[in-house]
Amino acid sequence: MTRTTRTPLALLLVAVLALAGALAAVTTAPAEAAPKPGPVAGVTVGDARIAGSKASVRIAWRKAPRARGYQVLWARSAKMKKARTASVRKRSYTVRNLAVGQTWCFQVRAVAGKKKGKRSAPVCRRIAKPGQSASPWIAAASVTGTGTAARTQLTVRWRATAGARSYELDYAITPEPVVNYPLWENKARQTKKVTGPTAVLPGLTPGKIYCFQVRAITAGGAGDRSPTHCKYTMTADRRLPAGSPQALDVATWNICASPVACRTHPFNKRVDAIAARIKAANVDVAAIQEVPPGPVDDLTRRLSGFDRACTSGAEAVFVRTYRYRLLSSSDTVGTPHTNPGACWARIEPANGGDPVVVVSLHLKPGPTAADDRIRRTQAADVLAWVRDRFPRDHLVLAGDTNSNRGHDLDGPRLAWQSGSLMDAYDIAGAFRSYPVQNSMNNWETTPKESTRWGAHIDRVFSSAGIHVASWEIIEPQSGGRYTQLLSDHSLVRTGLLIPTS
């Protein structure tokens, strides 16, 4: 038998052919199918953000096995018919332009190339616009630090909104007139998120006007912002005095005892209850307006424990004798003139202390700008008259100013602030009654509210350094209505703490 000898070239050719056959076998073998991405779990639907008739909702979920991306689906029912979709790579997505007042359902599934995982179970939410929150108000204020490092802290409260899970309180320094500078347009606006109807705001600038709005966050989304409330912040010189300050509790009350102005509410039928309310207020000084001769004598006889320090026209000052004693008054020295009137008393603590001049006054009524200019002049004249005679005494001006911060020109405040006197309502450390209910009630049993400022024409102003510990309106209520109106004004009570020399 003849033996065949293979050359190296032939051997190489055989090897190449064998390798090619092996590669062909590999490429023609069926490939094993890649698995689909795993199911999506942990789908959550955030609270809706509502603007007008449209809402947006943030959807989030946990990472799915083998997912390279995700598909979000949403429709108006759990059957997910006519569902709209969006493709994303992240594990969250904000669905926008959802109609308010509808139920919306959401699903998510993982995607890997052309392969899609199983849809998650539908998660449905009704997007119903919640009600508007009530206006906030200031419950307490304090000052920390000194000089340029001084900062004011405010405690802000509001009525709870039904269904609220949390709240957003917006606030910012706002120039005057505040009505021209809407808070939601203020680029410096800050937002405090809280779970209940109270927020503490430290680090505010003293002596500035801040405005506030609140809105509720519910399962149905964010409600409309509340009406705006604005507040002047306590200044460093009005902080709680060191040591043992001299306490002086002051009430001011227009009791409408004029037989002309209040003829439908005879004073002789109210005087006993008026005297009882003044006593129950537990004040050292009561500045009374609209109490002409005759009625003032009737009231004096019923105010046991008080001395009538002065009267002038229809204004009076009563002093609680066991706490303070009278040094002099307008009954013997003379008085500044306002329209309708004013009287003053210089008093000191019964056990010794600094003298204080207290003025009861009633400034010109009237709604016009001309009336306001007259009130400003009257206020300036009173201050100049008193300061000319008592330049170093502590000073308290209390009465019916017929003006408040809501006026285009709050003349009395402007006149007295120039002399370093501040409104107790602006700088009080605590508010013991709902501060946006007006001090003038007009004999109406439903309380009137002025949410932007609190429209209090019955005011107490005090000189520099005096700390206003508290402010309140004393007017009994039940079920949201006044139960025993004794005048067309309510008694305003302030607790003052005077630094001693």
Mean pLDDT of the chain: 90
Residue 22 has pLDDT above 70, yes or no: no
Residue 221 has pLDDT above 70, yes or no: yes
Amino acid letter for position 206? P
Report, as an integer, the average pLDDT of 30-48: 81
Contact in structure between 159 and 134 (CB atoms under 8 Å): yes
Task: Report if residue 12 sits inside a domain.
Answer: no
Report, as an integer, the average pLDDT of 475-483: 91
Q: List the CATH number of the domain containing 122.
A: 2.60.40.10
Same domain, 312 and 453: yes
Same domain, 191 and 299: no
Residue 136: per-residue pLDDT: 95
Q: List the CATH number of the domain containing 403.
A: 3.60.10.10
Report, as an integer, the average pLDDT of 41-69: 88
Tokens 């200044």 correspond to what residue? 235
Report, as an integer, the average pLDDT of 234-241: 92
Same domain, 157 and 198: yes
Same domain, 204 and 297: no
Same domain, 290 and 202: no
Task: Report if residue 24 sits inside a domain.
Answer: no
Report, as an integer, the average pLDDT of 185-199: 95
Report, as an integer, the average pLDDT of 122-147: 86
Q: How confident is the model at residue 18 (pLDDT cuts 50, 70, 90)?
A: low
Cα–Cα distance for residue pair 306/165, rounded to 1 Å: 52
* Total count of domains within the chain: 3
Q: How confident is the model at residue 169 (pLDDT cuts 50, 70, 90)?
A: very high
Residue 327 has pLDDT above 70, yes or no: yes
Q: How many CB atoms lie within 10 A of CB 349?
A: 18
Residue 50 has pLDDT above 90, yes or no: no
Q: What is the 3-state secondary structure (H, E, C) of 143-206?
A: EECCHHHCEEEEEEECCCCCCEEEEEEEEEECCCCHHHCCHHHCCCCEEEEECCCEEEEEEECC
Residue 2: per-residue pLDDT: 46
Same domain, 183 and 248: no
Residue 6 has pLDDT above 70, yes or no: no
Amino acid letter for position 428? A
Same domain, 445 and 358: yes
Same domain, 274 and 189: no
Residue 360 has pLDDT above 50, yes or no: yes
Residue 28: per-residue pLDDT: 47
Residue 332 has pLDDT above 70, yes or no: no
Contact in structure between 41 and 119 (CB atoms under 8 Å): no
Cα–Cα distance for residue pair 85/69, rounded to 1 Å: 13
pLDDT digits (tens, 9 = 90+) for 371-382: 999 999 999 999
Contact in structure between 285 and 249 (CB atoms under 8 Å): yes
- CB-facing half-sphere around the CA of 165: CA atoms within 13 A: 9
Report, as an integer, the average pLDDT of 113-136: 86
Tokens representing 295 are 């009625």
Cα–Cα distance for residue pair 13/213, rounded to 1 Å: 89
Domain of residue 275: give its range.
240-498
> Beta strands 229-232 and 285-289: pairing type?
unpaired
Q: How far, CA to CA in Å, does 259 sit from each of 22, 50, 62, 287, 364? A: 121, 56, 77, 20, 19
Cα–Cα distance for residue pair 409/452, rounded to 1 Å: 16
Reduced to 3 states, what is the DSSP secondary structure of residue 239? coil
Q: How confident is the model at residue 134 (pLDDT cuts 50, 70, 90)?
A: confident
Domain boundary pick from 94, 127, 160: 127
Domain boundary pick from 72, 99, 127: 127
Contact in structure between 125 and 48 (CB atoms under 8 Å): yes
Weakest mean pLDDT among 22-36, 309-323, 348-362, 469-483: 22-36
Task: Report if residue 9 sits inside a domain.
Answer: no
Q: How confident is the model at residue 9 (pLDDT cuts 50, 70, 90)?
A: low
* Angle between helices 295-302 and 271-280 in degrees, nearest 10: 50
Report, as an integer, the average pLDDT of 226-253: 94
In percent, the amount of the chain with pLDDT more than 90 equals 72
Contact in structure between 398 and 250 (CB atoms under 8 Å): yes
Same domain, 423 and 309: yes
pLDDT digits (tens, 9 = 90+) for 414-436: 999 999 999 999 999 999 999 98
Tokens representing 49 are 């953000």
Same domain, 376 and 477: yes
Weakest mean pLDDT among 20-34, 199-213, 456-470: 20-34
Reduced to 3 states, what is the DSSP secondary structure of residue 258? coil
Residue 337: per-residue pLDDT: 66
pTM given for the model: 0.77
Report, as an integer, the average pLDDT of 1-20: 53
Task: Report if residue 334 sits inside a domain.
Answer: yes
Q: How far, CA to CA in Å, does 293 sit from each of 299, 458, 466? A: 10, 22, 33
Residue 26: per-residue pLDDT: 46
Task: Report if residue 31 sits inside a domain.
Answer: no
Domain boundary pick from 232, 265, 286: 232
Residue 35: per-residue pLDDT: 87
Same domain, 76 and 94: yes
Cα–Cα distance for residue pair 475/481, rounded to 1 Å: 10
Tokens representing 140 are 């307490």
Task: Report if residue 36 sits inside a domain.
Answer: no
Task: Report if residue 21 sits inside a domain.
Answer: no
Residue 194: per-residue pLDDT: 97
Same domain, 301 and 434: yes
pLDDT digits (tens, 9 = 90+) for 57-81: 999 999 999 999 999 999 998 899 9
Tokens 């005879």 correspond to what residue? 266
Q: How confident is the model at residue 454 (pLDDT cuts 50, 70, 90)?
A: confident
Residue 431: per-residue pLDDT: 96
Tokens 């001693």 correspond to what residue? 500
